[in-house]
Amino acid sequence: MHFASDNAGPAHPAILEALSAANDGYALGYGNDPLSEAVRETVREVFEAPEAAVHLVPTGTAANALILGTMARPVQTIYCTEMSHINVDECNAPEFYSGGAKLTLIETESARMRPEPLARAMETASGNVHAAQPGPVSITTVTERGTLYDLDEIRALADIAHGHGQRLHLDGARFANAAVALGCSAAEMTWKAGVDAVSFGGTKNGCLGVEACVVFDPDLSWEVQLRRKRGGHLFSKYRYLAAQMGAYLEGALWRDLATRANAAMAHLYAGLRGAGLGDTVLYPPAANLLYMRWPRALHQRVLGAGAVYYIEEGALDGDDPDEILTGRLVTNWATTEAEVDGFLALLQPAVAAR
Amino acid sequence: MHFASDNAGPAHPAILEALSAANDGYALGYGNDPLSEAVRETVREVFEAPEAAVHLVPTGTAANALILGTMARPVQTIYCTEMSHINVDECNAPEFYSGGAKLTLIETESARMRPEPLARAMETASGNVHAAQPGPVSITTVTERGTLYDLDEIRALADIAHGHGQRLHLDGARFANAAVALGCSAAEMTWKAGVDAVSFGGTKNGCLGVEACVVFDPDLSWEVQLRRKRGGHLFSKYRYLAAQMGAYLEGALWRDLATRANAAMAHLYAGLRGAGLGDTVLYPPAANLLYMRWPRALHQRVLGAGAVYYIEEGALDGDDPDEILTGRLVTNWATTEAEVDGFLALLQPAVAAR
Amino acid sequence: MHFASDNAGPAHPAILEALSAANDGYALGYGNDPLSEAVRETVREVFEAPEAAVHLVPTGTAANALILGTMARPVQTIYCTEMSHINVDECNAPEFYSGGAKLTLIETESARMRPEPLARAMETASGNVHAAQPGPVSITTVTERGTLYDLDEIRALADIAHGHGQRLHLDGARFANAAVALGCSAAEMTWKAGVDAVSFGGTKNGCLGVEACVVFDPDLSWEVQLRRKRGGHLFSKYRYLAAQMGAYLEGALWRDLATRANAAMAHLYAGLRGAGLGDTVLYPPAANLLYMRWPRALHQRVLGAGAVYYIEEGALDGDDPDEILTGRLVTNWATTEAEVDGFLALLQPAVAAR
Amino acid sequence: MHFASDNAGPAHPAILEALSAANDGYALGYGNDPLSEAVRETVREVFEAPEAAVHLVPTGTAANALILGTMARPVQTIYCTEMSHINVDECNAPEFYSGGAKLTLIETESARMRPEPLARAMETASGNVHAAQPGPVSITTVTERGTLYDLDEIRALADIAHGHGQRLHLDGARFANAAVALGCSAAEMTWKAGVDAVSFGGTKNGCLGVEACVVFDPDLSWEVQLRRKRGGHLFSKYRYLAAQMGAYLEGALWRDLATRANAAMAHLYAGLRGAGLGDTVLYPPAANLLYMRWPRALHQRVLGAGAVYYIEEGALDGDDPDEILTGRLVTNWATTEAEVDGFLALLQPAVAAR
């Protein structure tokens, strides 16, 4: 009953097997080996983008910061949302990699950036020498609250960014979960909707630690590579990043794993509604992530019984059993139906007492 | 016959097995799991430094830049050597992580920083508001030319740094190779000789990709952690870094692997001397790295016959068969005697023609 | 009728005379001359702070960024308000000088930072490795909307900052206007109320271009000096900065000039109320700055008649004569009663038509 | 007898008069006033460059760092000389403004950068992802040792930079002294010789504090302006920078003042030769700067008698009267023949004792 994060789950066996398979004799370092070249090509095929720059890094923060740092000039501001990972969970990585660009927080609806305030903010800053100038726009889907952008919404934001000569970045830490939820292809969710670069996540969805920076304008490729090296993210034994990403894409494993995680969440959400807790859920979960607002006593009971998840707002310790605390549940590819059912069973007495 | 780099060799099987063993069920992310805690403790034991901060990162550039960036203020200069990895092979990573500190290049003897010019440089800069102020000193052993500092030489540099209130950093990308060559312990080669922080390398010596930042002043630990996160180097699935480092230290595997690599180089060097090529070697190899100055024709013959190594100075293509080009040979834990012998055999006709 | 900004007004003659007086023969550069030393001492006396570090720079942005950049580490966030000069009018200078720290915007009341949300924000960020850590707090008085903090309000914010081991910075671009409005001394408005460093403005109040960084902790002095040099703000002919500041403080000229500017605004505000426009004023002006919300037609008429001021929100060109646009009026030491009366006269027909 | 620096001398009266003349009534801030526009146009005329971007800043370090920071990407290296002001006298300002670019020191002859090692360095770094990439080239004339580049030498360096797609920057802190010494125009010494941007100095040659960033590619203008603001160098009361620069150029005052300074140095150098000290001069002074190597006893006598100049190498206090210390003499527009003669007179007894 471990719902703390999709990064707390294990790697898929196929990923580990690929590491062993890659561990055969010598291979030139830094991505100059045949496996690495083949995997870059596979990523381009998955994205139907034969010219795209594909550069692997070990973490999502690295992918986001590297792409945004390449796209944003230090006199600019990056547009994102208040709850975005780049704003609250990267300890100033975007500021660092961009050389001191600012983040401007745009209003949201269900954790999705709204187009009107974005348009207004970009318009206001533009051409005023005292103000940070409009820079790239960064969105996340699956969002940090478990919701999704549909493709038209992505396109609307892309159009605004492009109208100011700026680019749209997609933080795809849970890219696979979003794509299977939407039932769309990698291309449809990115460049066909106006996305200029994506942090294509593998780590949360069954890899050990690999993300692909996929940048659709090949003119940025060399700069991304130099900045990756400067950030300390160019692996000498690059084949072990490539092997993970290759196995992840092989036979659409990435979609299969996300399908499992999303199904586990659907099962969990159905159970919550069945238990009469549907109205405690912040947003209906579109993929594998859910926020719920429960009284302290319920959290204490469930966590005390062995479930694992994070309290996002409020303190578990406290006197008032009725105070509402916000918790977060995340499923992953390895979450079993039994785990979910076990979790739901913990709710029964508490629900009865509600 | 692959002598391009120790990072071109495979990972040791024990490292891969440790990854599989760690891949069991759930583990809290970001190093908050029992395995990660245990491995940090093991590193401290190996270094006989119960208070040391131990933070894992995936690359040597990350380890160096993170430590130096924490130690150096942006108005300072970092002292290193002209051929140091941080100067020529990290695409401005130290400048990046330090927020724009300068590198000042100190004269060398056999690729080792000389103490007198270091003392002079630190003295000159100190207290002059127009000049970058003295910052940390960074040395590498095994050096980038395959030589070693003995412990007294490290101590002399440490004393100079400390005399200016600054710290000494050791780039230990080939730490194990140096330690077994000197026959000394990890503690003797570091804090007992005045080293304040070390990039303790695993990648080149049989791991997939892991280095430990070992910082002996625990007061720096939190700042290193924050800057690691900011650099995108805090792994969510940290257990896979920890597993590698744990297996690397288990049963002194790290020393065994380095002993093998050094022995292979000793065999290679003996063969070169036997072939009358001893005087073409730039510095007698103290560990697993050697530079040699050969005529173009000899390089062409040997590389044409299937040996793999880098030409460090000069262009392989060229008209003059007698022009001297500098090459570099590196052995690794997996280098076999047969490989070395095969390589030496290639030299015979060329040597005869010399 | 020029109310665009207090930096659009002329310098006071005494400032220019001081430049001429200082232009006599040789003086060592970079502040190492007797006049510069004497002026630093005078600033310390005015602030009743015999140990304070006093360093002159030519602009307010330089003073703010230099102080905040010295106080904030790159892994931290600086707390300020949405409308603060450092957030909207310095093109990322604080981010630049701090090496990539973030700005976190705290809720306001009448453009003054509120203490509760500040306390909450600092508490939340503290100790979470994923989040930018609490850094210095920066406030402005006279605020960017013309209001004032009283001394207790400053103290409350200082206590919160100090409770997290952080410092409080005061952007005093209009320090003199605030001090005379409150009727308090420089010391009372700063260190006696918990302020750790102040950008003490001279430029807007009758100088050509000089601000003093006054930092009450002398341990920061050397770092400020080094960073000032690194920012290109250490004047070689420093005596011309010192001469301005010396004349500005001589005989409390700084307070006299601010008194004049504030009086002109009081006269203007009285006139607006007399004309029935009191309710169009956003906040009653405490010093020399006022925001007013007028219909487009009124702005067009007044500006068309030769008055000069900025429209802060909305576009002067537009079809709807009744649309409300926000304008800003600023008086300065040289504003005459006749100018104000002339301006008020322009309002009459428009007011009649209201 | 003050030869410490040309920045220790007074401002020319015409500059101060221009400040008073500019201090008339209101003027829009930040360079948006008619005087500022007119002065920008005058600079363009002096440089025969109708499209050039002209942006004023108060110090030479600001001008250099702003231009180089705009031209250099953070993954690049800036090529300069060991003794260049940007390397030894700006406390990492170029590193700061470029976001962490490196400085690579190119060999010199008489303090002038040599073309062959520059070509070699740019060639070596190019296209290697591990190395800082070739960036702009920065030279100084009058050099930091008082020598000059002739126009062909500038052109040769420009060609190498341009051949790598990079730009050539000229640190013209003593631009006027160089131009009159060469007898060439501002255009001939810059864009006609391949220079892409110049820090055109006013401060050392009779202004209070003003330098013009003259960038011949107008496409860089907006970025320079934004970075100037970000650096805190956009003056609100810009008219006082403009007034200085306007007076400096009016009637070729800049050339007259430099002619005086150079003539004073010529007189001084002639006196040194006449006193038999010609061979103690490091390089024959081409403009207004001279280094001389004298025994400690001579320095002590001359300085003790009231002359003022800096010892650049060695310590004045010391036991050995015969130890050679390097001193520096600088003349400025206000240096009188009497001052020089008085200085030369001080040498007589010492020379006799030599």
Give the C-alpha separation, A89 to A103, whole Å: 13
Extract the tokens encoding C104: 């976190």
Please tell me the distance in Å from D130's CA to the nearest CA on chain B: 5
Tell me, yes or no, if C21 comes closer than 8 A to chain B by beta carbon.
no
Question: Which pLDDT belongs to residue D352?
Answer: 56
Has the ipTM of the complex gone over 0.90?
yes
Instruction: Give pLDDT, residue A350.
Output: 54
pTM, 2 dp: 0.97
Q: Band of the pLDDT at C349, cuts 50, 70, 90? A: low
Is the pLDDT assigned to residue D190 strictly greater than 80? Answer: yes
Q: Residue D338: phi, psi to the nearest 5?
A: -65, -40
Distance CA B178, CA B139 (A): 13
Q: For A109, which DSSP code?
A: E
pLDDT the model gives residue D349: 66
Give B227→chain C minimum CA distance, Å.
7
Distance separating alpha carbons of residues B205 and B11, to the nearest angstrom? 8
pLDDT of residue D126 exceeding 80 = yes
In 3D space, the residue among A98, A108, A37, A36 whose CA is nearest the CA of residue A73 turns out to be A98
- Kindly state the tokens that stand for A67: 């792409």
The helix (H) or strand (E) run that includes residue A289 is strand A289-295
Q: Which residue type, as a one-letter code, is found at position D315?
A: A
The model's confidence at residue D348, banded by pLDDT at 50, 70 and 90, is: confident
Of A30, A99, A133, which has the smallest distance from its Cβ to D74's Cβ? A99
Q: What is the pLDDT of residues A131-170, one digit of tens each?
A: 999 999 999 999 999 999 999 999 999 999 999 999 999 9
Query: Contact B54/B186 with Cβ under 8 angstroms?
Result: no
Query: CA-based angle B122:B125:B128, to the nearest 5?
Result: 150
DSSP letter at B23? -
**Chains within contact range of chain D (3+ C-beta pairs < 8 Å):** A, B, C
Nearest to C230 among B75, B223, B225 (CB): B75
C59 vs D contacts (CB less than 8 Å): 232-236
Q: Do C75 and B223 touch (CB under 8 A)?
A: yes
Task: Kindly determine whether residue B66 and residue A16, on different chains, have CB atoms separated by under 8 Å.
Answer: no
pLDDT tens, residue by residue, D45-101:
999 999 999 999 999 999 999 999 999 999 999 999 999 999 999 999 999 999 999
Residue C2: band (very low, low, confident or very high) from pLDDT cuts 50, 70, 90: very high
Average pLDDT over residues B111-126: 96
Q: Does B27 touch chain A (CB under 8 A)?
A: yes
Interface test with C, best of B28, B71, B75 (most C CBs within 10 A): B75
Residue among A103, A129, A133 minimizing CB distance to C102: A103
Q: Enumerate residues 234 to 273 of chain B having a beta carbon within 8 A of any beta carbon in chain A.
A: 234-237, 240
Under an 8 A CB cutoff, do B129 and C223 touch? no
Q: For residue C45, is pLDDT > 70? A: yes
CB-based contact D101 B89, cutoff 8 Å: no
> What was the pLDDT predicted at C353?
54
Q: Is the pLDDT of residue B353 over 70?
A: no
Per-residue pLDDT reduced to its tens digit, C182-219: 999 999 999 999 999 999 999 999 999 999 999 999 99
* Residue B349 pLDDT exceeds 90: no
Q: Which among A179, A209, A180, A169 has a CA at the least distance from the CA of A84?
A: A169
Does the pLDDT of residue A42 top 60, yes or no?
yes
Min Cα distance B95 → chain A (Å) is 9
**Distance between CA atoms of A188 and A113, rounded to whole angstroms?**
19
**pLDDT at A354 > cutoff 80:** no
- Contact call for residues D253 and D273 (beta carbons, < 8 A): no
- Mean pLDDT throughout A251-258? 98
Q: Binning pLDDT at 50, 70 and 90, where does residue C352 land?
A: low
Residue-wise pLDDT for D22-32, tens only, equals 999 999 999 99
How big is the C-D interface in CB pairs under 8 Å?
151
What residues in D contact C66, CB-CB < 8 Å?
232
CA of A133 vs chain D CAs: smallest distance (Å): 9
At A348, the pLDDT band (50, 70, 90 cuts) reads confident
Chains contacting chain C through 3 or more C-beta pairs under 8 A = A, B, D
> Residue A310's beta-bridge partner residues?
A328
Decide the pairing of beta strands D289-295 and A289-295: unpaired
Are B125 and D119 spatial neighbours (Cβ–Cβ below 8 Å)?
no
Of B133, B227, B230, the CB nearest to C226: B133
- The encoded tokens of residue D140 equal 């100084």
| Residue pLDDT, tens place only, A206-227 | 999 999 999 999 999 999 999 9
The reported pLDDT for the residue numbered C351 is 58
A66, A76, A95, A129: best to mutate for the D interface, most D CBs within 10 A:
A129
pLDDT at D93: 98
Which residues are CB-neighbours of B299 under 8 A, at least 6 positions away?
B311, B316, B325, B327
User: pLDDT, tens digit, for every residue of D132-172?
Assistant: 999 999 999 999 999 999 999 999 999 999 999 999 999 99
A75 contacts on C by Cβ (under 8 Å): 91-92
Would you call A130 and C88 a contact, using CB atoms and an 8 Å cutoff? yes
* A204 contacts B236? CB cut-off 8 A: yes
Residues 163-222 of D with CB under 8 A from A: none
Residues of B in contact with A13 (CB under 8 A): 23
Minimum Cα–Cα distance from D31: chain C residue: C8
* Cα–Cα dist B285/B262, whole Å: 9
Yes or no, beta carbons of B129 and C230 under 8 Å apart: no
> What is the per-residue pLDDT for C88?
97
List, in order of start, the domains of chain B with CATH numbers.
13-251 (3.40.640.10), 254-352 (3.90.1150.10)
The 10 Å Cβ neighbour count of residue C354 is 14
If contacts are CB pairs under 8 Å, which of residues 50-79 in chain B contact chain D? Answer: 74-77
- Name which of C130, C227, C229 is nearest B130 (Cβ-Cβ): C229
Instruction: Specify the pLDDT at position C308.
Output: 96
Tell me what the mean pLDDT of segment B217-229 comes to. Answer: 98
Is B100–D99 a contact, with Cβ atoms under 8 angstroms apart?
yes
Closest CB to B229: pick one of C100, C130, C226: C130
Two tokens, residue B8: 């071109």
For residue A140, what is the enclosing H or E element? strand A133-140
Chain B 78-137, CB below 8 Å of chain A: which residues? 90-93, 96-97
Nearest to D8 among C28, C60, C209 (CB): C28
Cβ–Cβ of A75/C92 closer than 8 Å? Answer: yes
| The pLDDT of residue B8 | 95
Nearest to B74 among C99, C225, C234 (CB): C99
pLDDT in tens, C113-130: 999 999 999 999 899 999
Question: C144 — contact with chain A (CB < 8 Å)?
Answer: no
**Distance, in angstroms, between C132 CA and closest chain D CA?**
20
CA angle B196-B200-B201, nearest 5°? 155
State the best of A75, A77, A228 to mutate against chain D, taking most chain D CBs within 10 Å. A75
Neighboring chain C residues of D57 at a CB cutoff of 8 Å: 232
Chain B nearest CA to C105, separation (Å): 21
Which of B76, B91, B133 has the CB atom closest to D131's CB atom?
B91
B300-338 pLDDT per residue, tens: 999 999 999 999 999 999 999 999 999 999 999 999 999
Residue in B62, B97, B236 closest to A7 by CB: B236
Q: Which whole number is the average pLDDT over D196-218? A: 98
pLDDT at B133: 98
Q: Which band of pLDDT confidence, cut at 50, 70 and 90, is reported for residue B94?
A: very high
Rounded (10°) angle between helices A253-274 and A337-352: 20
Q: How confident is the model at residue A353 (pLDDT cuts 50, 70, 90)?
A: low
Mean pLDDT (whole number) for C303-327: 95
Q: What is the rounded CA–CA span in Å between residue B328 and residue B307? A: 12
Is B93 close to A229, i.e. CB distance below 8 A? yes
In this prediction, residue A352 carries a pLDDT of 56
> How far is C329 from A207, CA to CA, in rounded Å?
60
CA distances from B338 to B268, B300, B335, D83, D204 (A): 11, 21, 8, 53, 70
Q: Which of D258, D169, D264 is nearest to D207 (CA)?
A: D258
Q: Which token pair is D351?
A: 């020379």
